[in-house]
A and B are shown apart, each in its own frame.
Chain A
Amino acid sequence: MASVPSPLEPGPNTISGQKGLRIPFFILLVRKSVRLLLTMLLIPTVVFFVLRVIPGDPALVVAGFDAPPEVVEDLKVKLGTNHPPLIQYEEWILSLAQLDFGTSLISNEPVLKLILERFPLTLSLAVAGMLCALLIAIPLGVMSAVRRWTLWDYGGMVFSQIGISLPSFWLGIILLLIFAVKYPIFPLFGGDSPWHLVLPSIALGINRGAVLLRLVRTAMIEELGKEYIITARSKGLPELAVRYRHALRNALLPVLTIAGIQFGYMLGGAIVLEQIFSLPGLGRLILSAVFQRDFPVIQGGTLFIAAVFSLVNFLVDLLYSLVNPRIRVG
């Protein structure tokens, strides 16, 4: 036995021996940007053809069915529908490339100007709604996961079930009736102060928050069962640090992705709630355009929302890879 050489010789060890696994953020940015650009080209195409597929000549609808033919012809020229669809499509794309969304048939103002006037309100409503959703989902979800199968957890689940089942427009009306009509704490309509956003963003946030809550709970339960949690506890960290610093950090990755995707829906929900709370946002602009058959505004508004939606997802992707360095591998 004495002749056996000691196996305890130290060997070489360098970090530089490792290949750099990290894909540079820059390359990722380029990749995702190309994808975004392609989407941006696709969206106007879809918007254009969807509107053309809808039956009924737009000019006829706008002018009224009993309008004299020369008025209709006039409108066709104004709308550009006197050309074949492919020519129209070409013109639409070319003008879009110059950021020209056309002019409103009703107010004669540039569509882009109308959109940009209204959009900040819609955006801030969606952001406030998302904030509200996360403020509900994260603490309740963590609580449910940590105390799972207790009354706390069941309480969270019941809340989530109710929240998912309640449509936000209904919740909006109820909130409005209680907190603006019966107890006039919040304003009934209008949108010139952040105060006006409180009720609609709660209505938006409860619904989305209820969905995210389940996600946070599931993700937290999964993360709390992982081995690195034992390491964190074996270091003597207090339970709060184990939960929020270690587990939640990893649990937030899937939650962030879904929240990002939901942000698009948040914009959609905001458009509905604008109606209920009489907020002069993008939704009201598009809706009144629909009633008035203001095609350039409908077209431009839809395109704008779709573009914002893709842009948000693009940003979420980038954010995700910043939070989770492993995404950058592969």
Chain B
Amino acid sequence: MGSEVLLEIKDLAVEFTAHQRKIPAVRGIDLTILPGQFHALVGESGAGKTVTSLSILRLLPPNVSNLRGSIKFNDHDLLQLSEEVMRNLRGREISMIFQEPAKYLNPSLKAGVQVMEAIRYHMGYSEKAARERVCELFEKVGLSDPELAMDRYPHEFSGGMKQRVMIAMAISCNPSLLIADEPTTSLDVGVQRQIIHLLLDLQRSSNMAILYITHDLGIVRYAADVISIMYAGKIIESAPKDVLFSSPLHPYTRLLLASIPSREKRGTRLQGIPGTVPNPEDLPPGCAFHPRCPLAQQKCKENVPPLVRIEAGHRCACFFPGKEFGSLL
């Protein structure tokens, strides 16, 4: 793992306009990914995870009214690149897999053809060479009978296998960053494990960094190197996995961790987080989490806590990091 930075997001803010209302989906986030790193971005739906990932590829929908900050990839600011240069990066250097492979695969093109496209376009392979490469890829992602699989249409695969096809497509040009947007959410639990396992294998064998987006802390427990927690368009805590699990600081993180079922907690009541995620159109003032936070004070309602470095690699945006909940819960 090199020490240089692969992706560095600084102060990224994305605002949409819909029905004449401004929706701040991402409100100034910093995120750094090192080459070959497995970085998990965790948050509830509506936290801005997907918007963040789509901004990296510059594939945001056209109703973005305000885009601020910088996304440096190998020292080039992606937000400043021309569309043509950007297009050459997509699929070749940065690629992406999605939550519902059934929807994200073209229903009327054969699996092989869809995987082949990027290879042919970016690497200039001939049809024959591309087919061979697809065969290799299909084997790599665990699709048995690659020759047969190539000529099948997406609806002829199960959910897990569709995701494998997506993964084959995404890694076809050996990208240095793979963005995985909840790739296992729509799959069965057993299949989820297989897919994560596969992603880990690929990450390790080809030193590919992964930005793994999920709402489920449990699922990245074994895989992630670094975990960032997102809430209402901001990153509220970021730390190496072991640190985050052993000494979480932000009350939201701690409540999230308490809500994961595990063997040690067998027999006890599972802890949920009271309240719901705020509507991005109507965010509470101060810390966006304060209405749900057991530690909230007057200060939290008035001021936005900055994301500060607590120790090397561990950042947290809370006025009372690590404070005991005491009898509050």
Contacts and interface: CB of A to CB of B under 8 A. Distances in A.
Contacts of A21: 155-156
Nearest to A225: B61
7 contacts: A11-B194, A228-B107, A231-B98, A236-B92, A236-B118, A250-B106, A326-B107
Contacts, number: 131
Question: Most A CB atoms within 10 A — which of B54, B91, B106?
Answer: B106
A325 B144 contact: no
B312 interface: no
Interface stretch (B31-39, B66-74, B82-90, B281-289): B82-90
A319 to B, nearest CB: 13
B87 A231 contact: no
B95 A13 contact: no
A325 B145 CA distance: 21
B155 A326 contact: yes
Contacts of B104: 227-228, 230-231
Contacts of A228: 103-107
B95 A249 contact: no
A8 B200 contact: yes
Nearest to B153: A325
Question: Most A CB atoms within 10 A — which of B90, B148, B223?
Answer: B90
Contacts of B194: 10-11, 13
A18 interface: yes
Interface string A312-330: 0000000000011110010
B144 A236 contact: no
Interface in B140-192: 142-145, 148-149, 152-153, 155-158, 160-161, 164, 166, 169, 190-191
A21 B154 CA distance: 11
A233 B160 CA distance: 23
Given A7-B193, A8-B196, A15-B161, A1 B108 contact: no
A236 B88 contact: yes
A15 B103 contact: no
B96 interface: yes
B100 interface: yes
B262 interface: yes
A131 B193 CA distance: 52
Interface string A210-238: 00000000000000001110111111111
Contacts of A78: none
